[in-house]
Amino acid sequence: LVKSLGADKVIDYLKEDFTENSETYDVIYDAVGKLKYSKRKKSLSKSGHFLNVLTISGNIKLDVKDLLFLKELCATGKLRTVIDRIYPIEEIVEAHRYVDNGHKKGNVVITISHNDTLQ
């Protein structure tokens, strides 16, 4: 899956600890927020940057220009999204259970139809 999204090299975290292979990186983006500070430090190059999905906070404002840019990236195939499962709103408890197991691939979508009423 990761290779199909454009990665040149994939390291399976269950088989290899990438912080122990003495390679360094200019950018590390921790997309699941699990990498410890001590570990990330030794894998960053001198001027390297560490980004963490958990520390992206504050009021992120998306305006129409940003959304059109995202649309363009999707339309041209530069941004490929991965949808693992799609649940109707009636099955939202099941959807949460699935997400809570911590192994979803990409994202889980909840569909809401015009006829659905939220109580």
Q: Which residues of this protein are in contact with ligand NAP, per CB under 6 A?
A: 13, 32-34, 53-54, 102-105
CA-to-CA distance for 40 and 42, rounded, in angstroms?
A: 6
Instruction: Find the shortest distance in angstroms from Cβ 113 to ligand NAP.
Output: 22
Place of tokens 């088989």: 15
CB atoms within 10 A of CB 73: 13
Distances 31 to 14, 53, 87 between C-alpha atoms, Å? 16, 5, 23
Other CB atoms closer than 10 Å to residue 58's CB: what's the count? 5
Instruction: Tell me whether residue 40 or residue 104 sits nearer to ligand NAP (CB atom).
Output: 104
Nearer to ligand NAP, 46 or 103 (CB): 103
Q: How far is the CB of 47 from ligand NAP (least distance, A)?
A: 24
- Residue among 6 and 115 whose Cβ is closer to ligand NAP: 6
Residue listed under structure tokens 């129409």: 64
Minimum separation from the CB atom of position 102 to ligand NAP (A): 4
Residue closer to ligand NAP, measured from CB, 13 or 69: 13
The residue nearest ligand NAP at its CB is: 103
The least distance separating ligand NAP from the CB of residue 32, rounded to whole angstroms, comes to 4
Q: Which residues are CB-contacts of 109 (< 8 A; sequence separation ≥ 6)?
A: 83, 85, 86, 87
